[in-house]
Structure 1
C-alpha cells in the first residue's frame, strides 16, 4: 500500500507541475530576460547526440536523466555516465550522472575562459570568464504501461559586470535559479512515445547586479521504434513558443558495436537560414562488458565540427 501511495504521489506531483507551470511562467514582471538555462539544451551523452538529439522517446539508458526523467523508471541496470567535450574548440562542457532504477542525480559544467572584454565606448577591458554549474535530481515511477517522472534543476551562473568610473573595469557577477521538469513515457509493443515539459515551474535566475533572467518553456515530443537490431527515433521540439526543431536518428546494433547517425534542423524553414541551422551527426558505440564507450561527431552547417566522447559504467 505504501508503494502504491508513493507512485500516485509522484504522478500527482507531475500533474501539478503541468497545471501550475503556465501561471508561474506568466508571473515574471517587466525587466525579465528570457533565455536562461541554455546549458540544459546542449545535450549530454554521445549516444543521444549521435542520434541527432532524438532521445525523448528512447530514454532507455543513463542518459534518461538528461533527456526524459520518466525513463529512469524503466532502467534495467544502474549506471554511472561521464561526458566531456570542447564546444566548437572554445568552450569546455562536461556532464556526470548516476542513474538508478527510479532515481538519478547529475551535474553539468560549462566554462568559457578568456573572453575579450569591451566597454560601452569600445574601450578594451580585461578578459573575463563565463561559467555555468548545474545540478539535477530526477525521480520516476510506473503506472501500468506509462512511466512518469520529474526532474529538479539548480543553476549557478558566474559572469562579469562592468564597473564604472574613470577607468572602467570588470567585476564578478553571480546568479542562481531553479526549475522543475516533467516527463512521460509509454511503451506500445516495439514503439515508445515520450513527452517532456521543461521549466514547467521555475524561479527566475537573479543576479547580484539586480538583473533577472527567466527560463524558457521547452516542450519535446518523441517517438522511437525498435525493429530487431535497428532503432529509429524522432523528436519535435518547441522552445519558448517561438522556435521549433525536429531531431531524427537511427542506430544499427552489430553485436558489441553500434553505428549511429542523425540530423537536427529547424521546422518550417527553407532557404539559406534553415540550411545554416542544420546539423548532421554520426557516431559509434562499443560495449566492453560493463563499460559502454560512445563517440559522436557533430557537423554544424556553419560552426566548426566537434567531437563528443562519453563513458558509462553499468553495475
Structure 2
C-alpha cells in the first residue's frame, strides 16, 4: 500500500468516524442538551414532515435506505447513489385542510462531466434541488369583536428550498450536505431562516448499510417579533437486505424539542420484467403516536413502469385523521 493510498484510507476512516461521532452525540444527548426539551418550542415545524410516499410508507426509516432523490431530505449522502437524472413530485392532503407538496430534481455531476470530457467517474457526486411547501387557506380570523365571531379569513404558507450535494469518498463511504432557505408566512407576518443538513453513509458489506447525520441546523425561525429555534434533529440509521427483494430499516432520531424517536420499516420488491416492478411497504414511527386513536403505523405500495414510478402511502394520525401521499418519480 503506497503513501497516497494510506492517506486516503485514513481520511476515509476519519471522515466516517467524525460523522458517526456526531450522530452518536446527538442520539445519546438528552433533549435538554439540545434545547429546553419541551414540545412545541421549535419554529418551522413543517420541516419535520418527511417528503415522499415511499419513505412515508416505511415509517420514514429511510436515512440508510436513501438511494433516490428523496435523499435530499433524509440523508444527502444518499445522493451519491443516484446514477440518473431524477425528477419527483409529491402531494399530501394532510388533515385539517393542510396541503403538503414536494418537488425535487437531481443531476449526477458525472454525467455532465462525461458529456464534456468523455470520462466517467462515479466519485463526481450528484447535485439536487428540493422544494417543500405546506399551505392552508380559509382560516377564520377571530378575537377582534366582543362576540368572538369570525371577521374574515387568512392564509398560512411555509416553504423551504434546499440545494444538496452527495458524493462517494470511496467504495464504502459517502458524504453529503444541503443548504436550505426557509420562508414562512402567516397572514401579514413573514419570516426567513437558513439551515444546513449533514449526512454520511457507510456500506459495511453487501447487506448492511449504516447512516448518521443531522438535519435543520441553522438560524432561528422568526415570525413576527419572536424567534424560535429550528427543529434540530440528529439521527442514526441502519438498513439490512435480508434477501435480494427484502429490506429492513431502522432509524433513531433525537429532536431538540421532544423525546427520542424510533422508526422501523420494511420493503419487499418484485420484478416481473425489465419494464414492470412492484413493491409492498410497511413501517412504524413513534413520533406519529401523539394523538389518540389508531396511529404510528404506515402502509404503502409502489409500481414501476420502465423509467417511471408511482408510490402511495397511508399514514393514520388517530383522531386527527388520515393522510394519503402520492408520489411520481421519473428517471432520465
Does TM, scored on the shorter chain, surpass 0.5? yes
User: Could you tell me how far apart the structure 2 residues matched to 1:233 and 1:110 are?
Assistant: 27
The unaligned stretches of length 5 or more in structure 2 are 109-125, 272-276
1:19-47 alpha-carbon deviations (Å, 9 max, x no partner): 9x99xxx999xxxx941232222111110
The unaligned stretches of length 5 or more in structure 1 are 161-171
Secondary structure, counterpart of 1:49 in structure 2: helix
Pairwise CA RMSD: 2.9
Q: TM-score, normalising length from structure 2? A: 0.77
**CA distance change for structure 1 residues 179 and 277 in 2, over 3 Å: closer, same or farther?**
farther
User: Could you tell me how far apart the structure 2 residues matched to 1:223 and 1:303 are?
Assistant: 31
Correspondences of 1:214-233 after superposition (within 5 Å): 214-226=229-241, 227-233=243-249
Match of 2:307 among 279, 284, 290: 290
Q: Is the 8 A contact 1:265 1:274 kept in 2?
A: no
User: Could you tell me how far apart the structure 2 residues matched to 1:132 and 1:186 are?
Assistant: 33
> Which structure shows the higher helix fraction?
2
Q: CA deviation at 1:276?
A: 4.9
User: Could you tell me how far apart the structure 2 residues matched to 1:62 and 1:139 are?
Assistant: 11
| 1:303 and 2:310 matched | no
Q: Is the 8 A contact 1:220 1:237 kept in 2?
A: yes
Q: CA deviation at 1:119?
A: 1.9
Partner of 1:164: none
- The count of corresponding residues between Structure 1 and Structure 2 is 281
Partner of 2:140: 116
Q: TM-score, normalising length from structure 1? A: 0.81
Q: Is the 8 A contact 1:266 1:274 kept in 2?
A: no
Match of 1:70 among 73, 77, 95: 77
Correspondences of 1:1-315 after superposition (within 5 Å): 34-88=41-95, 90-101=97-108, 102-119=126-143, 122=148, 124-144=150-170, 145-160=172-187, 172-189=188-205, 190-200=207-217, 202-207=218-223, 209-226=224-241, 227-240=243-256, 242-255=258-271, 256-266=277-287, 276=293, 278-315=295-332
1:78-98 alpha-carbon deviations (Å, 9 max, x no partner): 211100111026111100001
